[in-house]
Amino acid sequence: MVNTTMTGKQIPNHHQKRLDYLSTYFRVLRQNDGLSMKDVSEEIDLHLNTIAGVEKSRNFTLLTLFELADFYEIDVEDLFIGIK
Residue 75 phi, psi dihedral angles, 5° rounding: -70, 135
1 pLDDT above the threshold of 70: no
| pTM of the complete model | 0.84
Q: How confident is the model over 12-51, as pLDDT tens digits?
A: 888 888 899 999 999 999 999 999 999 999 999 999 999 9
Structural domains of the chain, with CATH: 13-79 (1.10.260.40)
Please give the C-alpha separations between residue 73 and each of 50, 52, 66, 76, in angstroms, as whole numbers. 19, 20, 10, 9
Q: Is the pLDDT of residue 2 over 90?
A: no
Question: Rounded to whole angstroms, how far apart are CA atoms 21 and 80?
Answer: 9
Residue whose C-alpha is closest to residue 22's, from 51, 57, 53, 52:
57
Rounded mean pLDDT, 55-77: 94
